[in-house]
Every structure is written in structure tokens, then in C-alpha cells.
């Protein structure tokens, strides 16, 4: 699939103010500094579409981008950034949970994981929460260009092995790099296949 148009529609903190209509929404979420904005910009081919911030955890909003005039990329707030106060944290948690659990148009959640790190408790717990609530999600390993040789594959296999301790069936996963566009085609083809399925229902 080619992305021919990508436009920013609205930012807000209230799921009730998200755009009306029935277009499918693909939400992107991850810990602060996982490379979410860069990934969205890489997928859409628009450098400044999602704002990349020098300060991790600045996004406290649900951002909707209309793609090809028939589906949305939704940029959700990053979670787990320690320097944000408790009040800020719980507010963000509420925004995230309200969107994920209440937004009927949300078709798939892409959970971003830094491929360089070993499994983080916060991510594993978040996946468990998604599983408990029956939320369809996929894993997107980011920064795949940063590991040399077989390190990337080793890291990802270790991660999947860790997940198998809790999950009988693993969610789909993708390996990406915003620098060299690794994984762009696979991710967009996956979204396209879901969109086609929705259209035949």
C-alpha cells in the first residue's frame, strides 16, 4: 500500500471528542522515547507530521491523522516516563485506557518496543492488560538499524521467548527502523489487509 495523503485532523484528551465516522483507526503507543513520532513520519513519508520532541513524554494528547482519506493513524501518549508527576501519570493512564477500551473504531493497537532493550516489566504488564481486555494488538520493534550483526535477531527471539511464558499465541510482530525504512512495507501491507477484511464484512 502507498500512502498518498496524510493530514493532521485533531488533538484532544477526551475520547468523546475523537473524529466521528466509521473509518478504522490504527493506534500507536509505547514508552516515551521509543521512536513513535519518527515511525509515524516514516510510515507516512511526511517528515514533520508527528512532532518529535527532544523531551520524552511530551505528548499528552490523542492525535488523529487521516490517511488516504479512509483510515486513521492515532498517536497515543507515551507511557511510563518517570519524571512526570503522579497526577500527570494517572491523567495519561486515563486518556490511554479510555481510548483503548471505549473507541469502537480502534481496529488495532501497535505497541512499540525498543529492539535494543531487554524486556521491560512495564511493557510486559501492559501487554497483559491488553490481553485481559481482549484488545487486538501487534508488536513493533523499533530502532532495528541500531544493532549490528545477529544482535537484532537474538534480541527479538529473546523477547518472544519471554512472552511465550505468558502467551500461548504470540501477537503479530514487525521489525522497523525509521532511519532506513525497514518494516515500512510489511506494516502498511498488514494495515491494508485488515482494511480489506473490514470492507468485505
Cα angle 111, 113, 115 (rounded to 5 degrees) comes to 150
Q: What is the pLDDT of residues 119-174, one digit of tens each?
A: 998 899 899 999 999 999 999 999 999 998 799 999 999 999 999 998 999 999 99
Residues in contact with 196: Cβ distance below 8 Å, sequence separation at least 6, in sequence order: none
- Specify if 151 maps to a domain: yes
Percent of the chain with pLDDT over 70: 91
Does residue 44 surpass a pLDDT of 90? yes
- Specify if 93 maps to a domain: yes
Cα distances from 109 to residues 21, 43, 85, 106, 158, in angstroms, run 19, 15, 26, 7, 22
- Specify if 41 maps to a domain: yes
- Specify if 167 maps to a domain: yes
The DSSP output letter for 39 is: H
- Specify if 143 maps to a domain: yes
From 112, 121, 124, select the one nearest 177 (Cα to Cα): 112
Which cell numbers in the block locate residue 115? Answer: 529492539
- Specify if 40 maps to a domain: yes
Task: Please state the pTM of the whole predicted model.
Answer: 0.92
Residues in contact with 67: Cβ distance below 8 Å, sequence separation at least 6, in sequence order: 3, 5, 6, 44, 73
- Specify if 1 maps to a domain: no
Q: Which residue range forms the structural domain that includes residue 55?
A: 6-200
Count of structural domains within the chain: 1
Amino acid at each position: 500500500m502507498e500512502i498518498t495523503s496524510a493530514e493532521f485532523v485533531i488533538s484532544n484528551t477526551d475520547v468523546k471528542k475523537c473524529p466521528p465516522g466509521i473509518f478504522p483507526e490504527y493506534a500507536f503507543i509505547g514508552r516515551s522515547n521509543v521512536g513513535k513520532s519518527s515511525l509515524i513520519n516514516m510510515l507516512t513519508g511526511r517528515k514533520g507530521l508527528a512532532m518529535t520532541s527532544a523531551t520524552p513524554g511530551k505528548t499528552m494528547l490523542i492525535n488523529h491523522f487521516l490517511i488516504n482519506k479512509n483510515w486513521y493513524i492515532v498517536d497515543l501518549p507515551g507511557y511510563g516516563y518517570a519524571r512526570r508527576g503522579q497526577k500527570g501519570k494517572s491523567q495519561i493512564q486515563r486518556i490511554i485506557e479510555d481510548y483503548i477500551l471505549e473507541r469502537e473504531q480502534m481496529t488495532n493497537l501497535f505497541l512499540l518496543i525498543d529492539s535494543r532493550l531487554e524486556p521491560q516489566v512495564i511493557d510486559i504488564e501492559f501487554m497483559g492488560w491488553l490481553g485481559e481486555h481482549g484488545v487486538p494488538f501487534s508488536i513493533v520493534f523499533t530502532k532495528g538499524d541500531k544493532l549490528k550483526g545477529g544482535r537484532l535477531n537474538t534480541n527479538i527471539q529473546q523477547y518472544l521467548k519471554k512472552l511465550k511464558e505468558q502467551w500461548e499465541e504470540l501477537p503479530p510482530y514487525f521489525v522497523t527502523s525509521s532511519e532506513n525504512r525497514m518494516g515500512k512495507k510489511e506494516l502498511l501491507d498488514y494495515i491494508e489487509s485488515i482494511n480489506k477484511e473490514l470492507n468485505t464484512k
